[in-house]
Amino acid sequence: MQQWVDVESVEVDAHESRLDGSLDLDLSFEAINGTAYPLTIERIVTKVSLHANQWETFTVETSVILPPSREGRKSAYPFYVAMKPQGKEVDWFMKGTVLTINGKVTFRDCLQKTRVQDFGGLYECNMEALKYMKPLGLVPDRNTEQEGKKAD
């Protein structure tokens, strides 16, 4: 069995700057150890895209041991990205927008092997919430057959 890290979005902390009309925006996440053994978080790289083909990269270097989560108490390492949208981007966040967020958590498992866990996707984001958008895949065609005869 192999260990893994789950990453969940937590909240948005937004403050408007009265001086320049910009926005201080902190997007909070948690790296969670859902396995039965401790692991050590070493590095988290988070990339956020508000514009096509433009990424802001945030890196956390650390050495934090996460014990296994227990019933009723998850073992999590909190981290965040601090953005400063300006101009038209502030309006997007006020009304709600979609962010592309991708990242990698580098950790050392209980056997001291270094592993990398990817996370990310599309997130709905506004001044109050950051919510992961589950991907919608293609709906497969459905056919039924009866003793070699096609019914649909």
Instruction: Answer whether residue 90 is part of any domain.
Output: yes
Instruction: Answer whether residue 120 is part of any domain.
Output: yes
Residue 152 confidence (pLDDT): 55
What is the pLDDT averaged over residues 23-27?
91
What is the pLDDT averaged over residues 105-121?
96
Instruction: Answer whether residue 77 is part of any domain.
Output: yes
Q: What is the CA radius of gyration of the chain?
A: 20
Examine the pLDDT at 130 and tell me if it is beyond 60. Answer: yes
How many domains does one find in the chain?
A: 1
The proportion of the chain whose per-residue pLDDT surpasses 90, expressed as a percent, equals: 61
Bridge partners (DSSP) of residue 88 are none
C-alpha span between 110 and 108 (Å, rounded): 7
Total Cβ atoms within 10 A of residue 89: 17
| Contact by Cβ (8 Å): 44, 17 | no
| Contact by Cβ (8 Å): 121, 105 | no
Give me the CATH number covering residue 35: 2.60.40.1470
Q: Provide the residue range defining the domain that includes 53.
A: 6-135
Which pLDDT tens digit goes with each residue over 26-63? 999 999 999 999 999 999 999 999 888 899 999 999 99
Instruction: Answer whether residue 128 is part of any domain.
Output: yes
Instruction: Answer whether residue 54 is part of any domain.
Output: yes
Task: Tell me the average pLDDT of the chain.
Answer: 89
Confidence of residue 148 (pLDDT cuts 50, 70, 90): low
Instruction: Answer whether residue 150 is part of any domain.
Output: no
Instruction: Answer whether residue 147 is part of any domain.
Output: no
Strand order in the sheet with 23-32: 6-16, 23-32, 76-83
Instruction: Answer whether residue 151 is part of any domain.
Output: no
